[in-house]
Amino acid sequence: MWEQSRKEMKLGTVYLDHAGATLFPQSQLTSFTHDLMENVYGNPHSQNISSKLTHDTVEQVRYRVLAHFRTCPEDYSVVFTAGSTAALKLVAEAFPWVSPSQESSGSRFCYLTDSHTSVVGMRMIATAMNVTSIPVRPEEMESAEKRGAAAGDPDCQLPHLFCYPAQSNFSGTRYPLSWIGEVKSGRMCPVSAPGKWFVVLDAASYVSTSPLDLSVHQADFVPLSFYKIFGFPTGLGALLVHNRTAPLLRKTYFGGGTAAAYLAGEDFYIPRQSVVERFEDGTISFLDVIALKHGFDALERLTGGMENIKQHTFTLARYTYTALSSLRYPNGARVVRIYSDSEFSSPEVQGPIINFNVLDESGNVIGYSQVDKMASLHNIHVRTGCFCNTGACQRHLGISDEMVKKHLQAGHVCGDDVDLIDGQPTGSVRISFGYMSTLEDAQAFLRFIIATRLCPSGGHPIPQATPGEAGAPPAESEAQNTMTVTMDGHSSSPEEDTRPNSRIWNDLPTAVDAVSLHPPVLKATRTQQTPSGRAAGVLDGGLGSHVVTNLYLYPIKSCAAFEVTRWPLEKQGLLYDRSWMVVNHNGICLSQKQEPRLCLIQPFIDLQQRIMVIKAKGMEPIEVPLEENGEQAQICQSKVCTDRVNTSDCGEKISSWLSEFLGRPCHLIKQSSNFQRNAKKHGKGQSAGTTATLSLVNEAQYLLLNRSSVLELQQQLNASDENGKEKLFPMKDLISRFRANIIINGTSAFEEEKWDEISIGPLHFQVLGPCHRCQMICIDQKTGQRNQNVFQKLSESRERKVNFGVYLMHTSLDLSSPRFLSVGAQVLPVLKESIECHDLPASRKYQDVIS
């Protein structure tokens, strides 16, 4: 059963974010598409035949929703919304709040602190009604459950609202459904207040993997999102409203389809009678509603029902929890810290969610952003951050209110990758299982943790799985058995080579020397040579100074490098560096993270003929003009690192060429010459009027790499493996992975991170800071194959922050005459601490940019 559902998914990855959004099986989409092709569904507000079909089908789906939650139209109504957030907002806006007055203390809105942001946000609407909002901690509810209700006025009908999640989306903790009846009956109160309590059960996380019986647990309001259950459609949810509560709801706005009658010229409006007709403003997303039928069909056919899903997903979660909890470093320290309120003893108290942080051998937290990047390299998809649940995040991670405000001042906002501040975590890692998850998924995740943290030489034990179906619970004794971890045998390490000579000039590839450039028509002589004798003399002379050893530009973003020995500059950096990029059929930029074969596309710039020649194995070379034709160019927009950029399409010919090579529809676009993109990073003392401009780069105009830093990483990577075989990472190949523009021969590893400014020949640059690395450094730029070792080793050696190389930008640049960067040019740094230049006479410390 579970294997069949997974087979339909055709997944090439281990997907462990089902609490975020589960995945849909192919059969569900096929069935829905067939339905749309066979039937005509019109607007349900019309009266024609196709509209009547839509109306009847939608009503049938409402019955199906109610049956799924074991209730009926006599007890509940289904109001379709844009999702659970919209459903919660609807409750907050329509609830009959009573403001404080001389006669009344007013309504109360209470919510569990372990709640989604969308629940906490309801307090803003309550505040606008002058209603007091009170956060209630889980332990306070447990105390209230034992304490019982205080004596009050049984005749008082003052309405109060209590909202809590059936399942924490942070930790998977399942809160008692019995609270619904206890609070509504008055036997348990979140706070002491006379009146009548109504209950919102936030079921969005819970119902994705568990049955909910509303005939037993009759909450007044139940918001949910269907993509959490079926994966498709997204953007559709519902508010299940108990019919005894529905008449109390108040509504101000009225939209299409909700009025029985109204006048445009007079304040006259009569709403429709049913709660559904009153609250579904405008035309609902009726095709998405119809898609739910196929979701229910697929779910029942593949799993046999929600009870089976509950047992299956909990078994996987308990198995993984047991294994994670048992992992230890050689010194006995835990590998992970799990945030949970249970011991995963029962699906009644714990859902299929595991929230944790990875620790190093000293017990320090490894940032969730780094764990996420490493997981991606192993094709494992996890969720990181605070999961839109700040209350639970604070409680489990020990983050005070003051710390949250301090983190904000430090630049951390919800959803970013600032994972550690002063060594303390700002969030965590979450994995969650869905109905198509398998035992193999859980074991792949455990192998990932073991491989990246324990680095076993002979295998590390993990709990032995019970043979047979993945959903079968392992016996307690079997959970203590062990099996040798078998690492994937298809590691894509670079081809072996001999260790390069430390004398770097023997390792230089063929280069292109741009000489004799004269505006307005630039000319270049293309040569096949090593750098000049002057540059070689600088190195061989042992003067101890820094010099430029290599120059690279990347005309097409994420494609192969174009190496030069001398190259002109423009205001955005090296001329034509990242001026083009490849986008998919939707205009979204493609990078090697999504399409590793981009590195096999080799662009060559011919300044004399003013063309870019693009080559790739198995393809005929193709030419693209360096400048767009202003009259014929098709202007389009795209995004680079959240920046909107204006571009022009380079035409169908190159589009077809790229599409054929990459095997997917794509286009080549070029940044418009009249478009200016401003850098977000600013240099020291830089005014707003002198903001640096960028091409299609991610962060800054230039990226500098120090060979001494690369050498240290190379020595770590070239350590012997468990079989005594040496894994060789040639210097040239390592350098290419980091895709820098300027390569220098440093005197010590990572000294560049201490620099404040540098001069390269007559040019001055500001050092903006380190480059935070992503998974692209794991891609062999010669083959397009991935190897996780580079990122992992760099992560270990750089103390959990994967920084390598530094960003540069011009401090000023006079382009009244051509300016060049050249191999062999001397590099003169200024330290941050002393602001003194090494090997630089005082008279030249603050020389002009142009000598």
Active site residues: 388
Cβ–Cβ < 8 Å for 251, 98: no
Other CB atoms closer than 10 Å to residue 79's CB: what's the count? 26
Cβ–Cβ < 8 Å for 108, 134: yes
| Dist CA 50 CA 544 (whole Å) | 82
| Dist CA 651 CA 733 (whole Å) | 33
| Dist CA 394 CA 171 (whole Å) | 12
- Nearby residues of 492 by Cβ (< 8 Å), 6 or more positions away: 780, 783, 785, 786, 787
Angle at 614 between CA 610 and CA 617, to 5 degrees: 160
DSSP-H helix ranges across 254-339: 275-279, 286-303, 306-326
| Dist CA 154 CA 151 (whole Å) | 9
The pair of three-digit structure tokens given for residue 574, joined into one six-digit string: 């090296």
DSSP designation for 243: T
| Dist CA 703 CA 803 (whole Å) | 12
Pairing of strands 132-136, 108-112: parallel
Residue 691's Cβ-side half-sphere holds a number of Cα atoms within 13 Å equal to: 10
* Terminal alpha carbon distance of the chain: 75
| Dist CA 662 CA 847 (whole Å) | 49
DSSP designation for 206: G
Pairing of strands 159-165, 196-202: parallel
**Widest Cα–Cα separation across the chain:** 98
| Dist CA 735 CA 349 (whole Å) | 51
| Dist CA 830 CA 811 (whole Å) | 13
Q: Give me the DSSP letters along 496-563.
A: P-PPPPSSGGGG---BEE-----SSS-------BPPPHHHHHHHHTT---EEEEEEEE-SEETS--EE
Taking alpha carbons only, the member of 695, 688, 691 closest to residue 646 is 695
Helices 390-397 and 401-409, interaxial angle, to 10°?
A: 110
DSSP-H helix ranges across 617-670: 652-662
Q: Is the peptide bond before 190 cis (omega within 30 degrees of 0)?
A: no
Q: Specify which residues 668 forms β-bridges with.
A: 582
Taking alpha carbons only, the member of 12, 146, 136 closest to residue 488 is 12
| Dist CA 678 CA 646 (whole Å) | 13
Q: Give me the DSSP letters along 783-803.
A: T--B-THHHHHHHHHTTT--E
Taking alpha carbons only, the member of 668, 695, 656 closest to residue 679 is 695
Taking alpha carbons only, the member of 255, 283, 289, 291 closest to residue 44 is 283
| Dist CA 102 CA 173 (whole Å) | 41
Cβ–Cβ < 8 Å for 512, 563: yes
Q: Specify which residues 742 forms β-bridges with.
A: 551, 704
| Dist CA 625 CA 648 (whole Å) | 12
Cβ–Cβ < 8 Å for 16, 293: no
